Structure 1
Amino acid sequence: MAKRITTQTLLAVSLAGFALAAKADLVVLQYHHVSDSTPPSTSTSVSLFEGQMEMIGELNIEVVPLESGTRDALDGKLDDRKQVAITFDDAYESVYSTAIPELEERGYPYTIFVNTDAIGSNGYMTWEQLEKVRDRSGVTIANHSEDHGHLARRPDESRNDWTQRVENSLDTAQETLADRLGIDVPMFAYPYGEFDEALERKIKERDWLGYGQQSGAIGATSGDTRLPRFPMANAYGQLNSLKDKLRSKALPVDASELPDGVIDENPPTLSFTVPDSISVDRLTCFASGQGRVDFEVSGDELTLKAPESFDSRRFRYNCTHPASDGSYYWLSQQWLDLSKPED
């Protein structure tokens, strides 16, 4: 019979039963604009960005290049080394004028994901600026599609039309980066953080790492085509919660168990096998805009479903669990409602 875990009724277990090893994983931060005058939903204020970089230094967390840090984390090679990687989507002009000088003063490496059609247009970096930063130590420039389109297959789109559209966007951008900058980096950031299983296969076929916008750290159980990053816009990057994010670890749930996130019911149901190292009374789950959500456990299977439907195109379930060193294990499942309008 399923055991229901509520905020009022928790299972009683000993402290020794929930302690997880203090092994470190890679935390990836995701930015768009770094500016006080761009849209708040995708912007990090200048003072907040400076404070975030200062906190990384205060916590003595090593800032590493994204690709090597990701591969080490996936291979379980970090041991107790705390590491963070810094990424920017879209190559906005404020990244060049504001963020990059701050990073270079601190000697922090970073990655810029480029949607190639936008380069040189109003508000974006130019090809000349990208050439300048390309040659600097610790800088990576990678693919963010040609046109920043929604790449998951649309409900009314034929498979052939989708294949042609997506392959053109992926490959044209990669070819443009090679032609203009002489680079061929095997990493891709999904526009809007949206993906489905078929799109993941396209990334896998190209032997690329694929990065989303769902929160959490990258560890040995993460999926290499659905890698998490913590969004750092003003609403999510405040310093009072940043320390927990910077020190977070991947909840040890095999990513192959998790759905691609495209929903066929609203609210959706999430199920996964609870690792032996997890005590369910220490696990807390949340749904976007709905706060803490109850879940059920039957045997070693956890099932979670929000009590209300969602109105947005993208939303998340997040689950956290304390680690033995005072940090948190983190799992974020992003959901995608293809019936809702594209941004």
Structure 2
Amino acid sequence: MINFRKLIFLPALSLMMALSYTASADLVVLQYHHVDDSTPPATSTSRSLFKAQVQMITDLGLDVVPLETATRQTLSGDAPATNQIAITFDDAYESVYSVAAPILDKQKTPYTIFVNTNSVGAKGYMDWAELKELSGKEWVTIANHSADHAHLARKPGEPEAAWHTRTNRSLDLAQTALEKHLGTAEPLFAYPYGEYDEALEQKVNDRGWLGFGQQSGSIGRYSHNTRLPRFPMANAYGQLSSLKDKLLSKAFPMDASSLPDGVISNNPPSLTLKLEAPLSASRLTCFASGLGRIDFSVTGDTVTVQAPKALDARRFRYNCTHPAGDGSYYWLSQQWLNLDAPED
């Protein structure tokens, strides 16, 4: 469990790399929204690209597995010899039913659909009959994406009691609706917009759910159960030229429970990494959202990553990679949330 009280007082991240760490296979979770050629570009994967992505997974000999069982297996340190892949869809858009599902169902390929239940039946979304049909297939999982797809992190100035009321309602109404309409209540949750703070993580943890974000990276034995990474697969991020590196990526060898809350107090925020063998600063590469590759400072075995200027986005990330051997990379994505920026 995350030491939430301790995290409150951490001004920056200090990651201790275990000398005994041995690279192993991990779970790579892919995140989709629309799968179509006519839906909003920022959240869409074209039909042809989706088919090509699925084919690359096959060509690499990687197994696509059910999300919950594979995640729990990986967190327990009982992962198989090679990376596994899990496929997820957020929002239950109609194109998932009409385009993606028929492709995956041919081979009974496991996938998970995270549903924001208030939108079911609205224009562009699946209805309950379609979700019921898919949920009847043993390889399909339907799970919670909140009732209203609201920004669930506590807003500046929001009374704590009001925040508890609205977030509990959104989490629990969705779970109740899924159970009522589909007879399912999976212990899985995908944060709307990928946004979370430590208090929201605590609610997910208290319910016994696994919590999935939208920061990139793979899941390993030292990942944390309420801040699990997924690789976005929209057109801008899912191109085949970089997909292989993502599919074969390794979780950064660190205790992810040491990651900071992510809600920033200073902009740009700083991220401090203490590197131990086999990691070295000379082989580390870091990026910031919208800025590309960024420099970092090194003091002894400690690296401090900080963007060269403030970022005005509501959500942004620092991504760091390091060679892991056999052509694969350790991958760390730290998500930051700027609550002063407008909601989208």
After TM superposition, the score normalised by the length of structure 1 is 0.92
For residue 172 of structure 1, what is the aligned residue in structure 2? 173
For residue 51 of structure 2, what is the aligned residue in structure 1? 50
For residue 102 of structure 1, what is the aligned residue in structure 2? 103
Q: Spell out the pairing of 1:247-266 with structure 2 (5 A cutoff).
A: 247-266=248-267
Whether the 8 Å contact between 1:33 and 1:44 is mirrored in structure 2 is yes
Aligned-pair CA distance for 1:253: 1.5
For residue 314 of structure 1, what is the aligned residue in structure 2? 315
Structure 1 residue 290 corresponds to structure 2 residue 291: yes
Q: State the distance in 1 between where 2:276 and 2:54 align.
A: 34
Aligned-pair CA distance for 1:298: 3.3
Structure 1 residue 30 corresponds to structure 2 residue 24: no
For residue 220 of structure 1, what is the aligned residue in structure 2? 221
Q: State the distance in 2 between where 1:139 and 1:260 align.
A: 32
Fraction of identical pairs, as percent: 63
Give CA deviations for 1:40-66 in whole Å, capped at 9, x if unaligned. 000000000000000000000000000
Q: State the distance in 1 between where 2:336 and 2:302 align.
A: 20
Give CA deviations for 1:220-256 in whole Å, capped at 9, x if unaligned. 1111100000000000000010000000010111112
Aligned-pair CA distance for 1:21: 4.6
* SS class of match (1:297): strand
Whether the 8 Å contact between 1:115 and 1:146 is mirrored in structure 2 is yes
Whether the 8 Å contact between 1:253 and 1:272 is mirrored in structure 2 is no
For residue 86 of structure 2, what is the aligned residue in structure 1? 85
For residue 133 of structure 1, what is the aligned residue in structure 2? 134
Aligned-pair CA distance for 1:186: 0.4
Q: State the distance in 2 between where 1:22 and 1:250 align.
A: 9
Give the unaligned 5+ runs of structure 2.
Answer: 1-18
Q: State the distance in 2 between where 1:330 and 1:53 align.
A: 21
Instruction: Give 4+ residue runs of structure 1 displaced > 4 Å after superposition.
Output: none
> Which moves more between the two structures, 304-313 or 186-195?
304-313
Whether the 8 Å contact between 1:211 and 1:228 is mirrored in structure 2 is yes
Aligned-pair CA distance for 1:194: 0.1
For residue 5 of structure 1, what is the aligned residue in structure 2? none
Letter in structure 1 aligned against 2:36: S
Whether the 8 Å contact between 1:284 and 1:321 is mirrored in structure 2 is yes
For residue 328 of structure 1, what is the aligned residue in structure 2? 329
Q: State the distance in 1 between where 2:92 and 2:276 align.
A: 39
Q: State the distance in 1 between where 2:298 and 2:269 align.
A: 17
Whether the 8 Å contact between 1:316 and 1:334 is mirrored in structure 2 is yes
Whether the 8 Å contact between 1:312 and 1:337 is mirrored in structure 2 is yes
Q: State the distance in 2 between where 1:94 and 1:146 align.
A: 20
* SS class of match (2:189): strand
Give CA deviations for 1:251-309 in whole Å, capped at 9, x if unaligned. 11111221121101110111233243312211111111112122223344322111111
Whether the 8 Å contact between 1:258 and 1:271 is mirrored in structure 2 is no
Letter in structure 2 aligned against 1:324: G
Q: State the distance in 1 between where 2:244 and 2:154 align.
A: 37
Q: State the distance in 1 between where 2:77 and 2:273 align.
A: 21
| Count of aligned pairs | 325
Letter in structure 2 aligned against 1:112: I
For residue 75 of structure 2, what is the aligned residue in structure 1? 74
For residue 113 of structure 1, what is the aligned residue in structure 2? 114
Q: Spell out the pairing of 1:266-277 with structure 2 (5 A cutoff).
A: 266-277=267-278
Give CA deviations for 1:102-152 in whole Å, capped at 9, x if unaligned. 001132100000000000110000100011011102110000000000000
What is the Cα-based RMSD across aligned positions, in Å? 1.3
* SS class of match (2:321): strand
Aligned-pair CA distance for 1:196: 0.3
Aligned-pair CA distance for 1:22: 4.6
Aligned-pair CA distance for 1:35: 0.5
Letter in structure 2 aligned against 1:306: A
* SS class of match (1:106): coil
* SS class of match (1:188): strand
* SS class of match (2:340): coil
Structure 1 residue 229 corresponds to structure 2 residue 230: yes
Whether the 8 Å contact between 1:21 and 1:324 is mirrored in structure 2 is no
Q: State the distance in 1 between where 2:146 and 2:264 align.
A: 24
Q: Spell out the pairing of 1:174-213 with structure 2 (5 A cutoff).
A: 174-213=175-214
Letter in structure 2 aligned against 1:232: M
